Structure formats: C-alpha cells, structure tokens
Amino acid sequence: MTITVAAPAKINLTLDITGRLDNGYHTIRSVMQAVDLADRITLTLTGRPGIRVSIDDRTGGDSLPADSRNTAYRAAALMFAGSGYAGGAEIHIEKHIPQQAGLGGGSADAAGVLTGLNRLLAADFCRERLMALGAEVGADVPFCVHGGTALAAGIGADISPLPTLPGCHIVIAKPAGGVSTAEAYRLADGAVITARPDHDRLEQALRERDLPEIGALLCNVFEPALALPETGNMHTIMRRHRCLGCQMTGSGSASFALFDNPAAAADCAAALRGPYPQTYLCRPVLEL
C-alpha cells in the first residue's frame, strides 16, 4: 500500500519571543500560514519491521540524515507505536523546501508522514491526536498538521485557528546561507527588542480580510536581532515591486513578501531569482 502526500511549508506572519523555560526552550506567539511550496512524501507500508528513509533533495542543500535523526523517521515510529502497527514503511522525501530557511521543512515532513500513515493504516486518529504526536517530534509539527492560518503559542505547539489569510500571492526568497535555530535564539536573547507584533490587530485584519493592513502588521523579532545583510537586500527588491509587506520568516534566513497583484508578484520573483536562485512564487494553503 502506497500513498503520496504534499507537505506544505509555513511562513510566520508574526513571531514574538515571550519567555524562556527552565529547560532552555523558548516560548513564543506566532501567526503561521501554510503555503503551497511543499515537499512530496511517498509512504509505502512494507509489512515487515523497520523504517527506511530515502531523500531526493531538489534544493541543493546539505545532505539530510536518513536515519532516526530524521523528523519523518521519528514521526513514523511514533505513529506505529501509537497505532500498534507491527510492520514498517519506506519513506521517500522529494525535498522542495530549503533547509535552515525558517520555512519548517523538517516539521512539514513529519506532519506529512503522520497524516499519510493515518490514512494508510486506517488509524482514524483525530487531528488533535496527530498534533499531540507531532509535538513529540518538534515544536512546529502541530501547526504543520493543522495547516491553514493559526496562532501558535507556548513552545509553538499550542495551536488556535484564525480566520484564513485572504487570497494573495506570496514571494519567498532564500539567500545562499542558512541560519541555525539555536544561534538565532542566542542572538535574540542578547538583543534589545523595540517592536513586537500586535496579534489582536492582526486577527482583526484577518477577520476583515484587509490584506494591506495584514502586510503592514507583519513583525518578526528575529529579524532585527539577526540583522542579516541579505535580508535588507531582498526586502529592497520586494518593496521596489510594491509588495504590501515583507519580512523574514521564522528564525531565517528566508524572507517573504505579500502581493495582491499577481503580475507584480511574478515580476518580483523574476527580479529576485538572479541574485537568489531559491526564489518561489506561492499561494496560501487555506486547508489541508
């Protein structure tokens, strides 16, 4: 039995660090949005114990582990344990989401495995149970299971649905270098944060489907803390093409811009692809 599922990336419309726990984890508040830049995951039940992961990386990134360190592997192991399935699986990941970009590629893969195996095994786990399993793999996995538009809180695993992002065009660009999440938090811990997201106003803008206001309310506290030179360069190009708003996503290094004009979005993507080959023209994914 085989199934192929899409594993969409995410962007952060807002991202605020709200605290730090005794175990070293940080707490956050973030409005996340699924987009149609996606990995493709093919799952095959083998009927014999063991999980085998293979990866076809179309992004040109560093080699990913294909063993128990891989998020897809860990998600499959949790799903098998939770469902009582005694067999194994082959997992093939066709990577389109770049690594160390703030786009949640590894979390998306884990979520894709959980939802795909839920269907293959006819386990009938509800979304909340899949999200709880995902939280054991990584903080962004519950959102990637949930999809759409949502507010993530706590360490990122407490998910509350929000009104969906209005139809728009999203340009994502990633510079050659990546950013380690641990290093990003280290830099943010030492930074003076002068501007924080207004989540109440953003939720109201989502309810009113006011895309220009949503663009104006984009805010990510990592962006000034990291102060990546390429971020400013990408944003200059995005603003030159009259985006409604742009910012870094996650802990970097990719940035995105929102457009209501498809031609302007396409022109912006074309302009970015010269200096930044990893540029993608996307749409929001409203439901999974």
Selection from 158, 116, 112, 101 nearest residue 135 by Cα: 158
- DSSP H or E segment with residue 130: helix 127-135
Annotated catalytic residue 140: yes
Structural tokens at position 280: 């993608």
Selection from 54, 21, 36, 95 nearest residue 287 by Cα: 36
Annotated catalytic residue 10: yes
Annotated catalytic residue, options 95, 140, 158, 174: 140
Helix axes 262-273, 229-240, angle to 10 degrees: 140
Structural tokens at position 128: 């909340």
Annotated catalytic residue, options 10, 95, 158, 174: 10
- Cα distances (angstroms) measured from residue 213 to each of 11, 13, 33, 38: 17, 12, 16, 27
Instruction: Give the residue numbers marked as catalytic.
Output: 10, 140
